Amino acid sequence: MATCFQLRGCGAQRLSLLPLGRGPCPCAGYLGLSTQPKPGLALLRGYAQGPAGLPPALLRTDGFVGGRWLPARAVFPVYDPASGAELGKVADCGAPEARAAVRAAYEAFCSWREVSAKERSSLLRKWYDLMIKNKEDLAKIITAENGKPLKEAQGEILYSALFLEWFSEEARRIYGDIIYTPAKDKRSLVLKQPVGVATVITPWNFPSAMITRKVGAALAAGCTVVVKPAEDTPLSALALAEKAKEVGEALCTDPLVSKISFTGSTATGKILLHYAADSVKRVSMELGGHAPFIVFDSANVDQAVAGAMASKFRNSGQTCVCSNRFLVQRGIHDSFVKKLAEAIKRDLRVGNGFEEGTTQGPLINEKAIEKVEKHVSDAVSKGATIETGGKRHRFGKNFFEPTLLSNVTRDMLCSHEETFGPLAPVMKFDTEEEAVAIANAADVGLAGYFYSQDPAQIWRVAEQLEVGMVGVNEGLISTVECPFGGVKQSGLGREGSKYGIDEYLELKYVCYGGL
């Protein structure tokens, strides 16, 4: 698949914050090889004023390195996943540009690390203000390139901006420690210092929020950043897989890079871990998920159905924390399946993300559609029942009907593979122990959800689920104030919250003697 990324080598000597579409955000320096909608950054200059009414001032096509927009030798087309229409052509950059971006970021780090926490805070706050000022136009860019409904895109922009606001505040809360030792003539200090240049690699499903969640923390800590957006977006669909590997390797093996932060598949995360191991780089990763959604007999069925709708079908099921396996206890199973099928038919509308009332946009590409088809076909061939949906939607080639399957068993693909699409497979269980065992059988553990009105059961299951995040009687759990991350093969480290900035800081012990 393609690769195209936006990196920005920041000139820390000129920490100017310019209007959207006019230049970079302060000091993060994205060396522009991407066309992802970067909040607060100039984007895809080559887009035409299409049916989405995309704002020309925000659209850039060139790379941005060391404070300058630079064209590449080649370009590739960007497509709207809903219509297949070409949105424009963007620069196709490779490993040399990536290395140049790393050098620019490293040079900037030498100055940026000395900028006061208060000034870093102020600059991040200004970036937040710019995002809010331009939120409608930024949301349109997301819908155009990603396909998600405009209302969801608007929500993502707000969510993105809130990470900048949060880390603008956390920048001033980087505290050290004083440790008293038995020696009377010594004092021991612990300092927190920025790790250095951070390589940030982000996914296509939240092309704005995954940038700010990482970059906001890095800038607040005093790091500079090189950002590589996803290679599987429509913006980079025509690039070669070999180029993606080349660029990723360059960014992750460069000796000037001290930190790698990645959101994406577990398979790719393992490759990047291998790259990082050679030079022992700091790593944080948010990888694949396979979230269980458990409904116990004591649950409020209507509440559970509402939570299932929110958790499963947001972004057409293309989120890393969306429910992938529905485990429903026998006594409540039939009622839950019936009401969930009714809600899907009543509340979900497939269409172009720019159309009023659309709740389900296209999947990102043909490969994503094929995977959902494969999971449905496999399940049906092994005895599953289609309650609603089950096939491609007539709206277009990248659209799939929201689908509910019952009579699902553990031997089906959808029971042990992440679908990443609008498929809700329901499996029946008898006991709490059985449900927890099924939920924990996966080798990943990002998020998990369950519904129960039994206080003792709530504590037991919340503690027993092998995941990094648990939603109890709640289907939407992401918020900037709380730590985001998983266990097992779902990743390393946490993002957001007061813990997120620690991923970009090193501890230094100072022993002050002779007192």
Give the residue numbers marked as catalytic.
Answer: 286, 320
The answer to whether 369 and 398 are in contact (CB under 8 A) is: yes
DSSP conformational letter for 359: -
First-last CA distance in the chain:
62
Please identify which residue in the block is written with the tokens 């919250």.
Answer: 497
Phi and psi at residue 5, to the nearest 5°: -145, 160
Q: What is the rounded distance in angstroms from the CA atom of residue 501 to the CA atom of residue 220?
A: 7
At 392, phi and psi to the nearest 5? -60, 150
Look at the chain and count its residues.
Answer: 515
In sign, the C-alpha dihedral spanning 273, 274, 275, 278 is: positive
Residue 28 CA: distances (Å) to CA of 16, 124, 174, 184, 222 = 11, 10, 19, 44, 10
Q: Please state, as a whole number, how many other Cβ atoms lie within 10 Å of the Cβ of residue 85.
A: 14
472 Cβ partners below 8 Å, 6+ apart? 449, 450, 451, 452, 458, 462
Name residues whose C-beta falls within 8 Å of residue 338's C-beta, 6 or more positions apart in sequence: none
For residue 36, give the amino acid letter. Q
Task: For residue 154, give both structure tokens.
Answer: 């608007």
What CA–CA distance (Å, rounded) separates 52 from 285? 34
Residue 497 CA to residue 354 CA, distance in Å, equals: 32
Q: Kindly state the DSSP code that residue 110 receives in the 8-state scheme.
A: H
The CA distances from residue 37 to 89, 94, 210, 235, in Å, are 15, 20, 11, 10
Place of tokens 């909608």: 37
Distance CA(403)–CA(350), nearest Å, equals: 12
Cα–Cα dist 27/10, whole Å: 5
Nearest to 439 by CA among 457, 423, 427, 422: 427
Q: How far apart are CA 247 and CA 503, in angstroms?
A: 23
Check if the beta carbon of residue 339 is closer than 8 Å to that of residue 305: yes
